Structure 1
Amino acid sequence: MTPGHTRGKIVVTTPTGHVGSRVVRLLLQAGTRPTLLLRDPTKLDAATRERVEVVQADQSDTEAVVRATRGADRLFWADPPYTVDGDPVAGYARMGANAARAVEENGIARTVFLSSVGAEKRHGVGEIDGLARTERMLDATGAGVLHLRCGYFFTNLLADLTALREGVLSTPWPLDHPMAWVDPRDIGEIVAARLLSDWSGNQVQAVHGPEDLTFSRVAEILSRAVGREVRAVRISEDDFRTALRSAGLSGGQVEGIVGMSTGLSENFVAEDERSVLTTTPTTLESWAHAHLRPALGDTPPGKL
């Protein structure tokens, strides 16, 4: 694509998130001027703001979403974290309904939707059930839609820095349960590539990261990468709920997260097999050395 050429208006939601920020950077480097939909424009750095169109809007506001996407040819839709008390499944589904309405009313030709591994179950996977509902609503528009069913984000580890500083990686998942782990930046690269390419119809593409990992294996990798011993510890669902509540999550958020871990660990096999299309390059070890190690600080209580 030549500098300055665009494929019509591209709208990006959650542009300051782990995935969205990478999408924005790549679209800018490709010579486009994307439209960014976000609640708080002050979160954008000045250099980025000069090169984009900014629409201040909440994705839960139907009319605001429709207005922001008017004239759009491409849309990246990702639900922001659900931060209100209540049912996150219903909350994500409501936002998904707004996306579907915008696609229909504005004739958006191609939408890339940030879904999740487990959405193929359609129900019984906690808050992922809301993403599954969004998949169905977007499919029903008849427009081109790509669902990216992504694995477990490396960046989720940043939410438990206190325990990791003490050398503990706690999880309600079985310690020997393998699952896909992925760097959100790698997801952003796939999103950007798809927004800038031509395709049609309803499609699903998993994003599995470089390899499936158990939590026991993750602890081994982190120990090497951050320079301190980390051990994986399985906790009960009740203890997991207590930890989530102490982190300030609402009752609805807690149950949505607990249901997700339960639904993905009990007799679940991903519908989308690992392939060259689903495997991304960044390893957990390289990510942890670059991002988690600095976040933990340079003075571990006990070096390896």
Structure 2
Amino acid sequence: MRVAVTTPTGNVGRHVVSMLLRAGIRPLVLARDPGRLDAAVRREVEAVAVDQRDRQAVVAATAGVDALFWVDPPSTGDDPLADYELATASVVSAVRANGIERTVFQSSVGAEKRHGAGEIDGLAGTELALDALGATVTHLRCGYFFTNLMLQLDAVRAGAIPVILPLDQALPWVAPRDIAEVAVTRLLSADWSGRRVQAVHGPADLTWPQAAETVSAATGRPLRAERVSDDAMRNLLHASGMSAGLAEAVIGMSTGLRDGFVPEQPRTLRTTTPTTLAAWAYDVLRPAL
């Protein structure tokens, strides 16, 4: 079995690579800069330097692949949805040209809306394009990554995280490692076909105050969630150096999932994963503070 993995140094991709290695698979990893791979990992994988938005390069790199873990690379430009369209064209062309048997696509809760959820709309576009292809694909509709807190270390140190979701709105929080486990299970199993949607909700739905209380207890640092206006968040993102277009796409991921949004897939035994925010915050976040 030949398995290709994109974003192999990402929050989920690095775990996918490690799990495949432990399963006895030597994965093909597609990375913009293979030099960023850990030296020990680099020796165990087949690494190819590829820009995922370069359709021809992706098609060439995935020739002979049986299963593909695809993550649309994050955008840093002013038109994120245009970047997502380029990545979508790459994966669709690769699956079609190379007859890839199974694709696991890292999507997000909210992609089921199709429109109106900021950057998540780009993931929805990839889902729709793979569906139109008639590919055997599992869309992983993931909850809010624990690791997003690593992007807010200064706010955590200061004791207040600004949010634009209602403070009483709960959302699924999930460990990237658990997403990888679900992805690898699908990649290595040949006992499924057609279009599947698999939500990955983590162990619990949490409001921001609940998440802040959990993180505070795990790290020993006082932390609260502070509701701010959309404009205030926009100003914070601009001050961090984010372009106007990207800031709107990021804000849209929250504004598009408020006002009564409910994920298409409910929390069940299949959609619930084990790693708690408390355990992750103690093991990962606490040492980073």
**Which residue type is aligned with residue 271 of structure 2?**
T
Report what 1:299 is aligned to: none
Cross-structure match for 2:199: 206
- Offset at residue 50 of structure 1 (A): 1.1
Question: Alignment partner for residue 152 of structure 1, among 141, 144, 153?
Answer: 144
What amino acid is the match of 2:50? A
Match of 1:104 among 96, 105, 110: 96
DSSP 3-state at the match of 2:66: strand
Taking the aligned partners of 2:242 and 2:177, their CA distance within structure 1 comes to 25
Contact 1:74 1:195 in 2 (8 A): yes
Q: Secondary structure at the match of 1:65?
A: helix
Backbone CA RMSD of aligned residues: 0.9
Moved over 3 A (4+): none
Q: Could you tell me which residue of structure 2 aligns to residue 37 of structure 1?
A: 30
Aligned to 1:128: 120
Q: Which residue of the partner structure matches residue 238 of structure 1?
A: 231
Once the two structures are superposed, residues 89-125 of structure 1 have per-residue CA deviations (whole angstroms, 9 ceiling, x without a partner) of: 2211221121011100110010000000000001000
**For 1:172, which of 145, 164, 172 is the aligned residue?**
164
Supply the distance in 1 between the matched residues of 2:81 and 2:120 (Cα, whole angstroms).
7
Asked whether 1:252 is paired with 2:245, we answer yes
Q: Deviations over 1:32-82 (max 9, x none)?
A: 111000100111111111111111010010100101111111000001210
- Distance (whole Å) between structure 2 residues aligned to residue 170 and residue 292 of structure 1: 18
CA deviation after TM superposition for structure 1 residue 193, in Å: 1.1
Q: Work out whether 1:26 is the aligned partner of 2:15.
A: no
- Equivalent residues of 1:93, 1:131 under 8 A apart: no
Q: CA deviation at 1:244?
A: 1.2
TM-score when normalising by structure 2: 0.98
Partner of 2:53: 60
Q: What secondary structure does 2:29 align onto?
A: strand
Unaligned runs of 5+ in 1: 1-6, 297-304
Contact 1:182 1:210 (8 Å CA) reproduced:
yes
Task: Return the letter of the residue paired with 1:32.
Answer: I
Distance 1:163 1:50 in 2: 38
* Residues 144-173 of structure 1: CA deviation (Å, up to 9, x unaligned): 100000000000011111111111121111
Greater displacement, 193-202 / 242-251? 242-251
**TM-score normalised by length of structure 1:** 0.93
Q: Distance in 2 between matches of 1:183 and 1:125?
A: 22
Matched, 1:114 2:93: no
The code of the aligned residue for 1:175 comes to: L
C-alpha separation between the residues in 2 aligned to 1:230 and 1:142? 47
Q: What SS is found at the alignment partner of 1:288?
A: helix
Give the secondary structure class of the aligned counterpart of 1:70: coil
Structure 2, gaps ≥5 residues long: none
Worse overlay, 165-174 or 55-64: 165-174
